[in-house]
Amino acid sequence: MKPDLFLADLLEKPARLRGLDLDDAWGFVAPPAQVLLLGMGSSHYANLVAAARLRAGGVPVVAELASSDLLPVVGPGTLVIAVSASAGSVETLDAVDRLGVPFVALVNQEGPLTGRASRTVWMQAGEERGGVACRSFQHTLALLLALESHLVGVPLPPIAQAADATEDLLAGAGEWRPRLTRLLLGPQGTHVVAPARRISSAYQSALMLREGPRLSAVGCETGDWSHVDVYLTKTTDYRMLLLGGSRWEQQLLEWTDQRGSTVVAAGADVPGATEALRYAHDDVDDVRLLTETLISELLAAHAWLDADQAGRPGG
């Protein structure tokens, strides 16, 4: 894992997105009786959002950690999709072996999983030379949204707009990144909060800060925050990246305002936030979903570079 190559991977995001071909990616899939999404880490985060969206569209879907000892019973009509950028997650390999049924592999490269799959769908994210699943996470989401389009009949995800939004964030990073670094990377960690429909963004954003620069960071859902995370605002130097768009933000902001917490809103102007970061097409929710993790990814990449240059642990 190398911070300079991680940053280079991020800079390639717009071009890789524009080259992503979603047309008929899932054309071989007949309407299933149910869907099981398997994965670990970033793959599971993406699966959670895809499963919720498909269920809302009337398709019975569950997303399970491949490491679970309680995998659901599957039958002949079950579409099993095993998601792994490396095509080699040992837990995912174990899960498909335990299930013992045909499955589709959603991967970014050849690996043990592709050798066992009945069909393969490629993420098309290119080699991630930094060793961090960043583009592959974005492409996983896009392809799972394309599956939703295929099964439910909704439009394909707005890839061109997401590429523009990604480019816009990258272009302005020299101005906003140092400021957000000071505001968000506090001595007691960073908290990332997102609506349930984009919970993958909160989890992935926090993971990026942990994985590269080894900083303390956690993700939480906006409504649930008032039940599980609010307590830390009373006793810590609380720093939050609020990924906007939840109808439950007001109760969160009442607590953060009372306790003087630092809140940076992204993708929306949130009254009471310390600062807001806007970018192209951030009024389109699926653009937010496909784009907003780049904020933490850039913070993480530069914090990791700084730590590497100073000889501190990272990566």
Q: Write out the DSSP string of 111-149.
A: SHHHHH-SEEEE------TTSS-SHHHHHHHHHHHHHHH
Residue 11 lies in a domain: no
- 181 and 248 share one domain: yes
- 202 and 77 share one domain: no
On whether the CB atoms of residues 124 and 138 are closer than 8 A, the answer is no
CA angle centred on 209, ends 208 and 213, rounded to 5°: 110
User: In the chain, pLDDT over 70 holds for what percent of residues?
Assistant: 100
Residue 121 lies in a domain: yes
312 pLDDT band, cuts 50/70/90, is confident
Q: How many helices (H) and strands (E) does the chain have?
A: 12, 10
- 117 and 237 share one domain: no
pLDDT at position 310: 77
Closest of 87, 72, 69 to residue 37, by C-alpha: 72
The residue segments making up the domain with residue 70 are 23-152
CA distance 69 to 229: 28
- 172 and 234 share one domain: yes
pLDDT, tens only, 247-293? 999 999 999 999 999 999 999 999 989 999 999 999 999 999 999 99
- 283 and 168 share one domain: yes
On whether the CB atoms of residues 287 and 162 are closer than 8 A, the answer is yes
pLDDT, tens only, 201-220? 999 999 999 999 999 999 99
pLDDT at 313 over 80: no
- 143 and 171 share one domain: no
pTM above 0.95, yes or no: yes
Q: Could you list the beta-strand ranges (E) of 164-213.
A: 190-194
- 191 and 74 share one domain: no
User: How many structural domains compose the chain?
Assistant: 2
Residue 1 lies in a domain: no
Any idea what DSSP says for residue 283? T
Write down which residue in 122, 152, 182 finishes a domain. 152
